[in-house]
Structure formats: structure tokens, C-alpha cells
Amino acid sequence: MTDAAPLKFPGQGMMAMVLSLLAVLFGLSSCVSSKGAGGGLFGGRTENRSAIYLAALQGGIVSKTGAVLSKGQMQRALEAEYRALEAAPGGQAMNWNDEGAEGEVVAAAPYQVGNQNCRQYTHSVTVKGKTYEARGAACRNDDGTWTPLT
């Protein structure tokens, strides 16, 4: 009697690849936080990178809402803008809140301008019961940053 080869099913390699990709995505999702122990968009170890990514937004469209926000509130708002632009499915809200202010960022489906991915998006901010809103668009750069269109 000979040893039989292990059974292989069509698509088995693809399933392993999909499961590996999901494991990586779940691992990365723990790095993205609007607030928490790691602090900031990319966790505590990469604060400089987080600052670069948020600075590239040039104040984001949250700065066009007219809402007066503290530094911490602005940080949370810009993190939500980045997360919505970078990873959210079109139409899915990215919410944030920080000490009396809250907001929601919703990015539309990506579209191409030349070789860049771009997205239109809205940002609603509520402070002391008053809601402010701005609309805009941004395009993704090769380094992963997003630059607003003016």
C-alpha cells in the first residue's frame, strides 16, 4: 500500500491567500485608532508619520466648516478624514468625538484623476448643539498622504 497524497481542492491556494490577507488587515486595523492607548492615527510608535499624514490634509475640510475646535478635537477630526479617504467604503461614515464635539466624515467612491485616486467627501461637525458641514475632495499621493483639491 502506498501513501496517498493529501487531498487538494480547487481554489485552496486562493482561500489561504484570502485568509492571510484578512489576518493582515485585522492586524493593521488595530493600529488605526481615533483615540486610545496608542494615541493617534497610527498608534504611539509612529507619531511622526501620523503628523505627516495629517499635515498633508492642510487642515482638511473640517477647517472649512466654521466650527471652533480645540487642538485635540481637530486631531480627531483630521484622523477621521484620513481614515474615510484611505479605507472607508463609499458612503460609510467615519465618526469621531472628543470632549463636547463630534463629527462624521463620509467619502464617496474613489475616482481617477490621471494616475491618482481621488474622493469627494463631506464632514459634519457638531459643537454645543450646532452642526456645521463642509464638502470637498482630495487625491491620494504616492507616499500615502492625501492632498485636498482647492
16: exposed, middle or buried (Cβ count in 10 Å: 0-12, 13-18, 19+): exposed
Average pLDDT, the chain: 79
Residues contacting residue 67 through CB under 8 Å, at least 6 positions apart = 101, 125, 127, 130, 132
- The whole-number average pLDDT for the span 96-101 is 96
Check the CA dihedral 62-68-74-76 and report its sign.
negative
What is the reported pTM?
0.69
Residue 33 pLDDT level (bands cut at 50, 70, 90): very low
> Percent of the chain scored above 90 by pLDDT?
66
The model's pLDDT over 39-81, given as tens digits with 9 standing for 90+, comes to 455 444 456 788 999 999 999 999 999 999 999 999 999 999 9
And the C-alpha cell for 44?
A: 504611539
Task: Output the pLDDT for position 47.
Answer: 63
The model's pLDDT over 135-147, given as tens digits with 9 standing for 90+, comes to 999 999 999 999 9
> Percent of the chain scored above 70 by pLDDT?
69
